[in-house]
Structure 1
Amino acid sequence: MSESEELTEKTVGKRSKLPLVLGICAALLLGGAGFYTVYSGLIPAFVSSSSKPGGEAAPSFVPLDPLIISLGPQSRSTHLRFAAQLEVDGAHQKEIVALMPRIQDAMNGYLHALEMRELEEPGALIRLRAQMLRRIQIVTGEGRVKDLLVTEFVLN
């Protein structure tokens, strides 16, 4: 082999690592800049509502009066005792308390319409809770009641 062939093989076989190093540095720089903009709140879409000045009020809980539902004569149990609490924004608490008779009526009507087999199913409480929450949200208006927390669900 001649010297010129050896030099061309060495230069062709050895690539420059400069583009790789520049790419890694650019990725780190852009990643850091992205983190800083989101963390500092420069992008409003990513700012949580709790860190905004004048954001939502803290959630509060409004207890529902316990309901005792008579079950039909064909059922093994005679009564259903149901108690729950509503999770609402503090700003809407007075409105929800004022609508409590309508909420109780909606709950009573729904629970009376259920059949015993629907109450005894293994996943019944999850499905019933979702149905009752939806009815409560219809009565109170969208966005006022966040969640329904079932505190008592007893068949006897």
Structure 2
Amino acid sequence: MIQQGHKLPALSLSQLTADGMVTHDVASLFAGKKAILFAVPGAFTPTCSAAHLPGYVVLADQFKAKGIDFIACVAINDAFVMKAWGDAQNASEIMMLADGDGSFTKAMGLEMETGAFGGLRSQRYAMLVEDGVVKVLNVEAPKAFEVSKAEVMLAAL
């Protein structure tokens, strides 16, 4: 599993924007930036929609005031689902990134198999990334939602 002090995997993530599909090279996206990256098991799922993403939407301005260049949410969903979920959650301040085949999540060692529920998913986590290097990593215990909350990450800055 990725640890504090490790570089993010040099892979790509997709984002559907108003201008169309964008494929982000992770190394380039995070180069020279201070960012929050958080992951959810799935778009439109209960805890993710009721608490995890909304927390970052509400506190986005406070993160920016503390020097965060951008906040990104990643899930093993396609870019169309991530865009629809972001739109439904009024998450215009959050980059909604798709790890469609789970390769990014697997490269970080943060995948989980949920069987018939949804198959391959990401564990729930949040991290502070500076210039592509993980500075703070908070991975949730199974079925927990405590350490990856927006409030916890904001307090860590």
Q: TM-score with structure 2 length normalisation?
A: 0.20
Specify which structure has the higher proportion of strand.
Answer: 2
The structure having more radius of gyration, on CA atoms, is 1
TM (norm. structure 1) is 0.20
Q: Which structure's residues are more often helix, by fraction?
A: 1
